[in-house]
Amino acid sequence: MKTHVRTLQLSLFICLFLLCSSSWATHISGGYIAYKWLQRNDYEITVGLFYDIGGVPVVPEQQVFIYGIEAQQIMLPLRKYMNPKPGSQVGLALYSTIYTFPEVSFFGGVRNKIAVRIDNRSGNILNMFSSINTSFYIETEIYVNSFLGINSSAAPADTMASVSGKVNKALTADLSSIDPDGDSLVYKLITPMQNAWRNVEGYRSPEFLCTDCTFTLNPQTGQLTWNKPVLQGAYAIAVMVEEWRKIPGTSQSLRMGYTIKDILLVISD
């Protein structure tokens, strides 16, 4: 009965978060969430968001939702803003804070999720319907387990706002991450999300306009390959990076968490 009540409370809290999490009409072209172990159950949480410079000003605080044993909302202050690189229309805002996850009173660990939802994505994304009216959502999973030791997330090797390519020319991009704990990484293409447990509606893989095109991500290296973009414009993709660690004294591995990076592919003539 207690488990049922806790699940119901968590579900209601998540619904409230999804309805009220963002009152800013911001245009977001991509982002990621990372965490770094500090001591005991203390972690530094960082949210990187790529803002269209034509949208509203960068907000001074970003709302973040955390759920595991407990569910709560916290505010991350803006720590740094990086202006767009030459030729780019996207700046990077970095929000961070130190968060202490609850102590676990039983043997084992707890999987926690860290999530961000913002009302509006960038406009004119070709492989989703009405992108400017579609919510932007990313999440990261962290497995807090004292037996398995330190656990920091894999960080993108390059915090680029987008990947550029040319029409009718093969596109390759290194979307690899670096794991500070030495965990094994597995890369997957997933459908971008607009809410918790809800994928973007009407999403299509970027090669949908071409019958003989291929669009792949190497699961071991994180190299993206698109053999032939045929139409200029922006395309959204999401990459999940899973972290796997071998359990001491066994031949088995355990997933220590994952990160999701939402990114644009920009194709020009």
Q: Tell me: the pLDDT tens digits for 124-152?
A: 999 999 999 999 999 999 998 877 778 99
| pTM (predicted TM-score) | 0.87
Report yes or no on 21 lying in a domain: no
- Where in the sequence is the domain holding 9, given as residue range(s)? 2-13+26-268
Q: What is the pLDDT of residue 107?
A: 62
Q: What is the pLDDT of residue 201?
A: 92
Report yes or no on 155 lying in a domain: yes
Q: What is the pLDDT of residue 109?
A: 82
CB 42 within 8 A of CB 100: yes
| Alpha carbon distances (Å) from 118 to 16, 17, 82, 136 | 14, 11, 20, 5
Total of domains in the chain: 1
Q: Which residues of the chain have pLDDT under 50?
A: 1-25
CB 16 within 8 A of CB 73: no
Report yes or no on 39 lying in a domain: yes
| Tens digits of residue pLDDT in 154-200 | 988 777 778 999 999 999 999 999 999 999 999 999 999 999 999 99
Residue type for 176, please?
S
What is the dihedral sign for C-alpha 89, 222, 172, 232?
A: negative
Report yes or no on 218 lying in a domain: yes
Residue type for 240, please?
M
- Expressed in angstroms, the distance from the first to the final Cα of the chain is 61
175-187 b/e with 16+ CB inside 10 Å = b? Answer: bbbebeeebebeb
Report yes or no on 246 lying in a domain: yes
Does residue 136 come out as left (phi exceeding 0), alpha (psi in the -120 to 50 range) or beta? beta
Q: Which distant-in-sequence residues (6+ apart) come within 8 Å of 208 by Cβ?
A: 127
Q: What is the pLDDT of residue 55?
A: 66
Listed in sequence order, the DSSP H helices in the chain are 2-20
Report yes or no on 20 lying in a domain: no
Report yes or no on 18 lying in a domain: no
| Half-sphere exposure (Cβ direction) of 62: Cα atoms closer than 13 Å | 32
Q: What is the pLDDT of residue 20?
A: 43
Q: What is the pLDDT of residue 243?
A: 97
| Per-residue DSSP letter, 209 | G
Q: What is the pLDDT of residue 75?
A: 97
Report yes or no on 82 lying in a domain: yes
CATH number, residue 166:
2.60.40.10
